[in-house]
Chain A
Amino acid sequence: MLLELGSDQEFFRATTARFLEDQAPPAELRRLRDDPAGFTQDYWRRGADLGWTSLLVGEALGGGSISGSGLIDLTLVAHEFGRHASPGPLVPTNVVAGALSAATTHHDLLPGVLDGSSIIAWCLGEGPPNDGLGQVHLEVRPDGDEVVLSGSKRPVESAGEASHLLVVGRSGDGLTQVLVAADAAGVSITPMHGVDLTRRFSRVTFDEVRVPADAVVGQIGKADEDVERQLLHALVLTNAESVGAMQAAFDMTVEWAFDRYSFGRPLASYQALKHRFAMMATWLEASHAISDEAAAAVAVGDPDASELAGAAKAFVGEYGAELLQECVQLHGGIGVTFEHDLHLVLRRLTADRALYGSPAEHRVRVAGHVLAEEDAS
């Protein structure tokens, strides 16, 4: 998270933090363990009132920002979501809200998204063996004044609660995005198992689903740039959330190290452990740094934004997960029990590491940027 927040930003962050502590404490997260949605409508609407859904939407359409940069403001919410392992489809909702705000059509769907009364899921990834970052096999075929979707998407967050789906498909050489009603004929939604306690994912299958051509967002076969921009938003928010989870686990474990005595000494007095804490502090600070720098670059459309966002996902995914596992190790047996709160953030970070591209995939993607650069020397 940013080292210095403006007073409005700090108020905004603190308001969300207080709300999450009050409305979604660990006991509530455990209660939601078997809830099909993983969050309540009332909770999500009240979060929307706090500004969770409107920061990537233009003012004319009912959105707006705190600081002038809605994306940066939103990273503060995502950070708190990570710190508290909070329920609710924060990342896909904002990706879709930003996409619709940037589009010239379908603005009629925005009010429901903004006030939290409806959910639109973003269908990007696909299942094995087509599950590589950027692989899109779902076909969007124009047919008269209709388009036909066939293929399958997974994992799709909160598809089970969604009124609509924003589907990324392929039309020849280019990508197309289509808005499909979740109850359209030919759409089937299968809940998946998942590591996160409150986030729900589904497989969504499109069996020759026909929708009017005006369901296309943007132009057929020309959505590649839109999808890339949306992916960058998803990466920035996922990273901010992961760093929040890292911070929570680290703080919890430092406190544990001071409080826990063995052989008559606190754990924090053992150099073998102190040095591991020092390394974790380094990973954590580095993750804050690259996550914020990538967010700033994406927010202003910097030419290096894609490389920085990918580098951040690669680093935070890799060392965030290492940090969480170190925290488990330093807790010992209690760290792998359901009773302890550590697994709440471990779950969140584990899911975030795997979504929107693994660290290894992002390393290769970053290498692509390096290989494409002209020799600077």
Chain B
Amino acid sequence: MSDETVVGENSVGDEHEDIESFRDRVRAFIRANLRPIGDGVDSHWRIRTDEEELAEVARERGIQRALFDAGLAGVCVPIEYGGQGLSVAHQRVLNEELRGYEYPTRFQIPTFSPCMAVLLDFGTEEQKLRHVPAMLKGEELWMQFLSEPSGGSDVAGALTTAVRDGDEWILNGSKVWTTGAWWSDWGLCLARTNWDVPKHRGLSVFIFPIDSEGIEIQRIEMLNGSQEFCQEFLTDLRVPDSDRVGEVNDGWTVGTRWMFHERMSHNSPLVTVPVGGVRAGVGGAAMKAIASDAGRLDDPRAQELIGEAEVLDLVGHALKRRVGHGITTGTMSDQSSAIARLYAGWTHSRRITIQFELAGAAGAAWLDEDGQLGECGPAFLMRQVGSIGGGTTEMAANVVSERVLGMPRERSGDRDVPFRDVPRSPT
């Protein structure tokens, strides 16, 4: 099995530490450094104060640094860039052993994938040597400057513009839906460098520190009160040409791979996802906990709903493994990752509905003492996020039908037309 499709052109080390000695090291590290996750299932949903958020970010930077010092950061990242040069099997061991423990969640997505994955694929040697080790040491949290207010799904329709000025580029525009830009360090940004060619041929990719002069960050309040998302305004932001990733006007080559890494993030060998970590929040066990709080465990209707959530969860894991394996071995096209994305969005909605159903009237009104039942109503309000964030399910359905099944493309007004002349929403 080749990992190259996912990790990029960099090969893994030949002389692998054996799995069991690696496991021993992981266990020793966890015992010495990490706290077990508390009782609150799916605390991911809880809205934090800024102070809490910053404290968690600091804690995660510390853990990431400790992992690096212990030789456990970047398991599948080449040694020359600060990683361990080990195999996917080693990463799996880390995922298994971390079950039930805290880990640096904020570093995984988007810092390690897609941002680090894109740098490993397209970055210059200098860029990789400067940033990949810094990411692995917990010094650089990265964000994607990708979506724009003018349209989330039409990523290649970016209006943010970069104009060359000697050895520098001057960027102007706005990006949106960056999670936690206010506590992050670097951005990976898609910008337009030529308005006189069709849209895919006039893009370039840049990187810059988020605290640069010329970047203003605004927090976005979501309907549930969360302020984790941000919008950024770039005004005459100066970026040296040495911080360009990929060729000028060839940004869509980078962008295509970027989208691939984004869709495959949860399956990437660059990303640590503790076994059961995701399941705890969405599968039958989580529904059981909610049904238990609601005193409904003996209700046959509740039991069938618990079973349904578990079925969808088990199937989702099997599907991710099948698609991940198929893409890695080349029996499926890269575009097949859209199948897993479609499944994830569809079943996310169903699970959120199931837990809302299990909560009963506590989904409408609750007391602090109701515990998890109180999270079910607000979670239902935010249900569609699972079908919007990371590319909508409609986009995924287009990719599946057009790229996987080969059906005719939708008519578009932006093909073979200079981007300048493409019709746009009124501003």
- Interface residues of A, Cβ cutoff 8 Å to B: 3-4, 254, 257-258, 266, 268-269, 271, 274-275, 277-279, 281-282, 285-286, 288-290, 292-293, 307-308, 311-312, 314-315, 360, 362-371, 373, 375-377
Contact = CB atoms under 8 A, between A and B. Distances in A.
Contact of A4 (B41, B331, B336, B401): B331
B322 A269 contact: no
B52 interface: no
A274 B407 contact: yes
Contact of A366 (B276, B307, B404): B307
Nearest to B37: A377
Interface of A is mostly: helix
Interface in B71-120: 100
A277 B342 CA distance: 12
A315 B311 CA distance: 7
Contacts of B276: 376
- How many chain B residues sit at the interface, stated as a range, is 35 or more
B41 A275 contact: no
A227 to B, nearest CB: 21
B336 to A, nearest CB: 8
Given A268-B408, A282-B342, A290-B318, 8 more contacts: A277-B407, A311-B314, A366-B310, A366-B311, A370-B285, A370-B307, A371-B288, A371-B303
B306 interface: yes
Given A311-B310, A363-B307, A377-B285, A3 B41 contact: no
B304 interface: yes
Interface string B307-335: 11011101110110111011001011000
Given A289-B318, A367-B306, A370-B284, A282 B339 contact: yes
B97 to A, nearest CB: 15
B405 interface: yes
A279 B41 contact: no
B228 to A, nearest CB: 23
**Residue from A268, A275, A366, A373 having most chain B Cβ neighbours under 10 A:** A366
B217 interface: no
Contact of B339 (A4, A257, A281): A281
Contact of A377 (B41, B306, B408): B41
Contacts of B405: 254, 268, 274, 277-278, 281
A289 B322 contact: yes
B396 interface: yes
Given A268-B408, A275-B401, A377-B39, A292 B304 contact: no
In this complex, which of B314, B316, B397 has the most chain A Cβ atoms within 10 angstroms of its Cβ?
Answer: B314
B196 interface: no
A258 B318 CA distance: 30
B408 A285 contact: no
Contacts of A360: 304
Nearest to B329: A4
Contacts of B322: 3, 285, 288-289, 292
Given A289-B315, A371-B303, A275 B394 contact: yes
Interface string B397-427: 1111110110110100000000000000000
Given A285-B323, A289-B321, A376-B280, A274 B397 contact: yes
B289 interface: yes
A285 B325 CA distance: 13
22 contacts: A268-B401, A269-B408, A274-B397, A274-B402, A275-B394, A278-B338, A281-B405, A282-B339, A293-B318, A307-B310, A307-B314, A308-B314, A311-B310, A312-B315, A362-B311, A363-B311, A370-B283, A370-B285, A371-B288, A371-B303, A375-B289, A377-B280
B307 A364 contact: yes
Given A362-B307, A366-B307, A274 B398 contact: yes
Given A288-B322, A289-B322, A314-B311, A281 B304 contact: no
Contact of A286 (B283, B338, B343, B410): B343
